[in-house]
Amino acid sequence: MSSNHGISYDALKYALTIKQSYQSGEPLTVTGAAKQQRLLMPEHLLSNDLALMQYDDPLALAVIATRDPESPMALAAAIRMGPHAKCKELITGVFEVVADATKHELVADCAKLLSKNAFSPDAFHLVRTRASNHVVEIREAYRRAMAENLRALLDGKMAAREFVEEFIELASNGNLRIDIYRRLVMKLMRSDAVRPSVKFMLLERLDRFPQMVKLQIVNEVNSAPDTPEYQTLKQELRWIYETKQKQQAPQVPINASKPQPTAAELVARSQIDFGAAAGLHQRNSIIKPAEPTLRRNSNPLTMRSGGFSTRELSSWLN
């Protein structure tokens, strides 16, 4: 399909990749300074001064607006999509689908308000202000919930596993800025009041953290003093690294020499080389049996239809 209609095949590939990220639970990221991957935040989508590459495409924004589990991200995506809907008839139809398909009432209300007012500047100003306030309100609510959970953990009223699961969920869904996210995790890792079992569980769930937080955790544990607690944590981290190395290594005959990993393998997009980050690969470790992991297909299928009706787009977004 020609981009003259507002949707191109490249845009469709971006949207399919975003949809698959939601299905697999992977966070959406954007390339920042020095080509570092950063979490995509509602503030990014609400800013007119940022070029967000694939996230500036209306179909990609439609996927976020309909599938994101948190209303701040969905609302910000719908608002960023608005100017496209004003200019292209097909995108106007997609925008109407978003208003009906989104799981968030506030997103539907704001999308309908924009459509009803013909995407006027006053309407955009109103919904942007409401979205900015909503982001602050939701973020503060998640912070309060995290603080209450921490008090419950320290008071013995909350199990360690439940706390860790809710901490990761609240931190991710609350759209915390990466620097705040990192400080919270570091406080947990450094605190003597937090039980070692909590820190073990954080290490076990290392892949669920953003990459910058992963690196901070690895470096924090590796550079910590050799107290009995941290010696055990370092041993656990070494096991994680060795297990990942075994999972990624190809099967070779026993007597065959091991091939050297390529640069591309060391910096694979969905993996982090914990040993290289923390300098642990020269140390001995206790190897535990590796558990099988599910890998998502990195080459999503693309639609080969000659065109897309509003009805087709509606069924595809859901």
pLDDT in tens, the chain (318 residues): 445 556 778 888 989 999 998 888 778 888 776 677 778 899 999 998 988 988 999 999 999 999 999 999 999 999 999 999 988 888 999 999 999 999 999 999 999 999 999 999 999 999 999 999 999 999 899 889 999 999 999 999 999 999 999 998 888 777 777 778 888 888 888 888 998 889 889 888 888 887 778 888 888 888 888 888 888 888 888 888 788 777 766 655 555 555 555 444 433 443 444 443 444 444 333 333 344 443 334 343 333 333 434 444 344 344
Spans of all domains in the chain: 10-137+299-317
Compute the distance between CA of residue 113 and CA of residue 82 in angstroms, rounded to an integer.
Answer: 11
Q: Look at residue 301 and give its three-state secondary structure.
A: coil
Radius of gyration of the chain (CA): 22
pLDDT at 10: 82
pLDDT at 177: 76
pLDDT at 97: 94
Question: Can you list the positions of beta strands (E) in the chain?
Answer: 29-31, 37-39
Compute the distance between CA of residue 178 and CA of residue 36 in angstroms, rounded to an integer.
Answer: 12
Compute the distance between CA of residue 52 and CA of residue 65 in angstroms, rounded to an integer.
Answer: 16
Compute the distance between CA of residue 243 and CA of residue 261 in angstroms, rounded to an integer.
Answer: 16
pLDDT at 250: 63
